[in-house]
Structure 1
Amino acid sequence: MTKKISGAEYPIAKIFSSDFDYLIPTYQRPYAWTTVQAGELFADLHDFYIKEKEDTYFLGSIVLIKEEGKPLAEVIDGQQRLTTLTILLSALTHRATGNIRDSFNRYLCEPGNELEGLAQKPRLTLRERDRIFFKDYVQAVKLDELLRIDPAQLDNESQRNIQANARLFMERLQSTFGDDPQAATDFGSFLVRRCFLVAVSTPSQQAAFRVFSILNSRGLDLLPTDIIKSDVIGKVRESLQSEYNETWEDLEVEAGRDGFAEVFGHIRMIYAKEKARRALLEEFRERVIDRVPSAENLVTQVIVPYTQAYLLAKNCEYVSTSNAAEINALLKWLNRIDNSDWLPSAMKFFAEHQSDAAYVNWFVTRLERLAAYMHICGYDVNGRIDRYALVLKALEQPHSLSKPVAAVELTLAEKQRFLTNLQSEIYWLTARRRNYLILRLDSFLSDGAAVYDPSVLTIEHVLPQTVAPDSEWAAQWPDATERLFWLHRLANLVPLTQRRNSQAQNFEFERKKKAYFGGRQGVSSYILTTQVLATPAWSPEVVRGRQQELVDVLTTGWGLTST
């Protein structure tokens, strides 16, 4: 069998003819084009149709595993376009009648010819999960029935995309051509005669994947994980490809496409332990794939355990007969931080030590403290990556609860810097950093029992920022320098819900407690605020004492003592 790669330009009429019998392999990603991509395709086609009366329109390329002279064509790249064009042809068929409808229908299904040995069947066969659905509704031109289905009742996102794009094309054809059958027919004629695709074919699977990777690493709209998948699944033993593809696809569905792509970035970090300097696709191949003995090992020993660890950490779903509640609470706090640089360390640890609940609790407690330290102290991305790299390197050495990973602990210098920042003017931290600290402090006071919604949070001053000269505040705090010193520090800040934010911040203390901090019921959702409600006066002495008490709570909660 020749390994020759051939490519030729074909009109859509030829692309959807007896010369090609398209099959979407099971390892391909689901149909992912939304109404955004489908709408852009229709708009581009119609704009060209109106403005160009002679020229041809190029729709891009498809990559096929196909033997010369045989119609069977396994689609390596191009399923999104082929599927979308089939939906558009179905919408045109739906509008047509008589001979025109029969003509359109031939692009959807092979009518069959016993003399030529052609069986009656659809031109395009989707992945197993969607092929019956696509055949029964789109290729059978039962679009009215399709649109009557509640999208929530469809099996997956792929089917919802198919339904949404069918609706879009039917609406666009109606709004563009109205009830004029000839106008729609002329547009359909333009589509099949003057719109072209380049079909690149080779009988070699390896060659087809190579062509696919080259084309798509140059900027077409695939995620790096799609190209990595083609590389990896293409190298799995043929007898195992379906099984491994099913595993891969299940992980992608569970993590979501964007989440799954994030997993690969974190895996790269686990192996590289440094900031990415090139594209993920290039670095993942060099840093990860080239260091794993086989494609099968890459899936079973790297992608599967790390994706499961990612989902555990992101969804806070650690399961154990002991410590599970504490561990999941800590994971929730980690997920509140405005970066995910902590995730590679968590994934590496969970993938290897998930069964030891006591050790997991030990590690996650310290990982949250380390992440909080860098978050509150304002580490930039380079500083965070360098610090977590130390943890990742340590995780590669033998470790256990009896000999734990020391790199996840804060050094004495880091603890001192943390404490210094806790004593600073907290109010001037960025909102994400400030809110994290205030809510984490409140959680230490509640022993973790409270539930917080940071979307309805504002941080307010007890001693107001503006003090009238004749107010009780001025009498209680006569020294303007002292007022300024304490104004933005931890002791003078309380968390409130946003709906109370518009009320008078400058009331005298007693009135402020009743009308502003306590609300209608005279209570607060936050322990920090409840403590202020129970305080009879707000003097410099009270604030100094409160500052020390709150810093002590954080010192104990995060274990910031020097010993």
Structure 2
Amino acid sequence: MAVDMAISATEKPLGKVFTSDYQLTIPSFQRAYTWQAENIEQLVNDLQDACADPDTPYFLGSLILVKDGPTQYQVIDGQQRLISLSIIISVLRELEDDPDLIDSLNDLILEPGDKLRGIKAEPRLTLRERDTDFFRMYVQEGDLEGLFDLRDNDIASHAQRNIAVNTRRTFDLLAAMDAKDRRRFASYLVNGVTLVIVTTDDLAGAHRIFDVMNMRGVPLTASDVFKAKTIAEISPAARNAYATRWDDIMDPLGDDSHTLEEFFSDLHLIVSHKAVCTQLLEEFRKDVLKPYVKKQNVISFIDDLLAPYANAWLILNRPTDANLPDDIVAMLVSLADYQTTDWKPVAMWALVNSIRNLGSANAQVFSTPGNIGNETTNAHDERLQLHDIDRLHDVLAALERVTGVDSLNRQSPLARRTRAASAIRDLNKGHTLQQIRGFLITDEDRRSALAHLRGELQTSPAMKKLLLIRANEQKAGYRITRPRSLKALPIMPEQVSAKSDFAAWPESVRDHWANRIGNLVLSQANETQVAPLATYAQRRDRMLLSASSRRFPLTAELANIAECTPQTLQYRQDEMVRLIADHWNIRYDADDTDLSTLNEETLNVKATASSPTSKRVSIAQVLEAGLLIAGETLVWERPRKGERWVATVTSEGKLRMDDGREYATPTAAARAVGGSSAGLTVWKRTSNGQKLSDVWKAYRLRKH
């Protein structure tokens, strides 16, 4: 007998989704939370761009839900976005100081409960069982200070690690906004972001809906739209020829709509010098195509603008195959190391303005045969006509330098694209490199970058690898050919067992070095093979096993180090900081002070950061700020277990327990006595009952 399946679909703003109408649960059969930092950063950036036009809604796709009760639903599709949105709301709540707005944000992720209506106080979203307590405690209930105090060893699953990393990244992005813009962003998030809620009462039906919604037809790409608008302006006699010319230019870029949007967005920035483009189809037509149409010269748009920049885009994606001098290829390879792509418009401009015939249909752009239409060797092939190679080299070097410094300083995409637009504007004016504002590195930029480099590297594995590559190549004096599986591996194991020679180091020393560049080595070794190795000798020998690893001088020198000590890591740290500072020419400030010799605290003080970050707060920092007092006691009361733990704050920035053991962080002290679920929040000052997490928050959000 056939069973009717009730289906409904409604579009709602986020503020109507995160209400008591929807009690959402991630079923156990769903995959874990897999979004990476770049995914949530892209979402935040897109929302920042979208809220510039508050009257235009931002559609965030569909949620597919199975109804389990009056307001209970299983999430079949949409958990990655729901978890990420909860993180964004939690961070907005943490940064807000208006009590009414804090309550409003809190109500979006926590059902406050209503005894009269029989509603229990619960999170609006419940994750899979393994991760639900972690997400509830740190994100939904707002213990961000406790989350930021966690070490990798404190985190039990990949999903929890993604939650922690993404919360940090979101905090850094939103803290950089001023309060007025952040509130505007929050308002847009609640009222302007919409989702289509598809509900059914049948699990199998929900999966069929999911399949259908993900097998939709192929939409038009930006290239299709611009081609139609451009070809329509060409005389009928030349229309077919230029339709074919367009395809010859654009087909090598592929048909991925996101890639094509990136290309046209970059081309829009290059022409318009506008950093933000929220409505690509409309703004590209107005700012780029319209002047050519007005002059009845759209053929020039295709031949003189689209063609050379499309080839420049291809070169940036395949630099080692390009028919360019080795030093230029090396610089393009270095730029391709970055996960960000905001440098691309400047690099494209530099190539187009340094190669006279880059837009020619016969230009021999690549030397290696492949699937690119203009690579076929024939009698009409033209060699690339390069001019002023020295200037091209200098522009790319300056571009790599500012990209590196901005990456270390975690500049927002808007700031990076504003820098790119400024650089291209000045390059078009023929300014010297010293006059180009987009290439300017201030003393504050230098100090901030070196402070990040000296401290705990709260950055992606790709960025850690990039920093090690820069240090190794600076020491070698040339570009080093890289094996495919190259990784940044720690000298000290993440889990230090009793049989490890690192176990003899004080816990505070191990904690200090765990996430610093001095503890990292470039190697082709497999991470899973290195991870269980306990001793320095075992780990060193495994990381040196491949000849490809030994190409890197900072890796090869481990062969001459028989024993690893904290002094070994300090020496490596000092050397790598100096090498990277020299590579990016940020070692000396305007007063000729060698910034690479300054410690992290001095650099941080002088950098005078303008906004708080998610960087881990140390006990020593809070002591220095006068928010804690050496010698005062903290207490953790556990009446149900009949336990009372007391810790004393030492003048060295540690917590000392009654048995004399000392710990570098509140979380480490709590977990040592209370188990893996304990954190910073459990400690209170005996003097006034204040939670330690509130002290930490006061330090982080203090006026800079």
Partner Cα distance (1:523, 1:392) in 2: 38
Aligned partner (choices 309, 314, 320) of residue 311 of structure 1: 314
Kept in 1: contact 2:524–2:543 (CA 8 A): no
Aligned partner (choices 299, 305, 322) of residue 296 of structure 1: 299
Are 2:525 and 1:495 aligned?
no
Cα 1:384–1:504 change in 2 (3 A) is closer
Residue identity in the other structure for 1:532: L
Are 2:493 and 1:461 aligned?
no
Kept in 2: contact 1:376–1:434 (CA 8 A): no
Aligned to 2:232, the other structure's residue is in SS state helix
Residue identity in the other structure for 2:417: I
Partner Cα distance (1:287, 1:358) in 2: 32
Are 2:390 and 1:358 aligned?
yes
Are 2:451 and 1:413 aligned?
no
> How much has 1:330 moved relative to structure 2?
1.4
> How much has 1:506 moved relative to structure 2?
4.7
Cα 1:370–1:523 change in 2 (3 A) is closer
Partner Cα distance (1:468, 1:245) in 2: 66
Residues 505-538 of structure 1, C-alpha deviations (whole Å, 9 max, x = no match): 4533234323x32338897454332222221222
The RMSD of aligned alpha carbons is 2.8
Q: Which runs of 5+ in 2 are unaligned?
A: 1-216, 356-386, 591-704
Aligned to 1:494, the other structure's residue is in SS state strand
> How much has 1:307 moved relative to structure 2?
1.7
Partner Cα distance (1:352, 1:267) in 2: 14
Cα 1:416–1:233 change in 2 (3 A) is same
Kept in 2: contact 1:424–1:489 (CA 8 A): yes
TM-score (normalizing by structure 2): 0.44
> How much has 1:328 moved relative to structure 2?
0.8
Counterpart of 1:208 in structure 2 is none
| Identity within the alignment, % | 21
Residue identity in the other structure for 1:535: I
Kept in 1: contact 2:524–2:548 (CA 8 A): no
Counterpart of 1:399 in structure 2 is 431
Residue identity in the other structure for 1:286: K
Aligned to 1:399, the other structure's residue is in SS state coil
> How much has 1:277 moved relative to structure 2?
4.7
Partner Cα distance (2:263, 2:391) in 1: 24
Counterpart of 2:553 in structure 1 is 527
Aligned to 2:252, the other structure's residue is in SS state helix
> How much has 1:436 moved relative to structure 2?
2.0
Are 2:370 and 1:372 aligned?
no
Q: Which has the larger radius of gyration?
A: 1
Partner Cα distance (2:481, 2:351) in 1: 25
The correspondence of residues 163-202 of structure 1 with structure 2, limited to 5 A, is: none
Residue identity in the other structure for 1:337: Y
> How much has 1:367 moved relative to structure 2?
0.8
Counterpart of 1:484 in structure 2 is 511
Aligned to 1:448, the other structure's residue is in SS state coil
Kept in 1: contact 2:483–2:524 (CA 8 A): no
The correspondence of residues 469-480 of structure 1 with structure 2, limited to 5 A, is: 471-475=500-504, 477=505, 479-480=506-507
> How much has 1:473 moved relative to structure 2?
2.7
Residues 406-433 of structure 1, C-alpha deviations (whole Å, 9 max, x = no match): 522423222222111111212x322222
Counterpart of 1:343 in structure 2 is 344
TM-score (normalizing by structure 1): 0.54
Aligned partner (choices 541, 544, 548) of residue 518 of structure 1: 544
Residues 8-35 of structure 1, C-alpha deviations (whole Å, 9 max, x = no match): xxxxxxxxxxxxxxxxxxxxxxxxxxxx
> How much has 1:263 moved relative to structure 2?
2.5
Aligned to 1:235, the other structure's residue is in SS state coil
Counterpart of 1:264 in structure 2 is 264
Residues 258-314 of structure 1, C-alpha deviations (whole Å, 9 max, x = no match): 455543221112233345454321111111112333212222232122222222333
Partner Cα distance (2:525, 2:411) in 1: 28
Aligned partner (choices 483, 500, 508) of residue 535 of structure 2: 508
Cα 1:521–1:314 change in 2 (3 A) is closer
Residues 83-133 of structure 1, C-alpha deviations (whole Å, 9 max, x = no match): xxxxxxxxxxxxxxxxxxxxxxxxxxxxxxxxxxxxxxxxxxxxxxxxxxx
The correspondence of residues 19-168 of structure 1 with structure 2, limited to 5 A, is: none
Counterpart of 2:569 in structure 1 is 543
Kept in 1: contact 2:330–2:479 (CA 8 A): no
Partner Cα distance (1:239, 1:443) in 2: 55
Aligned to 2:482, the other structure's residue is in SS state coil
Partner Cα distance (1:522, 1:290) in 2: 52
Cα 1:304–1:500 change in 2 (3 A) is closer
Q: Which runs of 5+ in 1 are unaligned?
A: 1-218
Counterpart of 2:326 in structure 1 is 325
Counterpart of 2:378 in structure 1 is none
Query: Of Structure 1 and Structure 2, which has the larger fraction of its residues in helix?
Result: 1
Partner Cα distance (2:491, 2:218) in 1: 55
Kept in 2: contact 1:318–1:327 (CA 8 A): no
Partner Cα distance (1:410, 1:240) in 2: 49
Residues 467-491 of structure 1, C-alpha deviations (whole Å, 9 max, x = no match): 446753344x3x3323322232111
Aligned to 1:288, the other structure's residue is in SS state helix
Are 2:275 and 1:245 aligned?
no
Kept in 2: contact 1:439–1:452 (CA 8 A): no
Aligned length: 336
Residue identity in the other structure for 2:442: T
Partner Cα distance (2:575, 2:465) in 1: 19
Aligned to 1:502, the other structure's residue is in SS state helix
Aligned to 2:488, the other structure's residue is in SS state strand
Partner Cα distance (2:549, 2:488) in 1: 17
Counterpart of 1:560 in structure 2 is 586
Cα 1:511–1:338 change in 2 (3 A) is closer
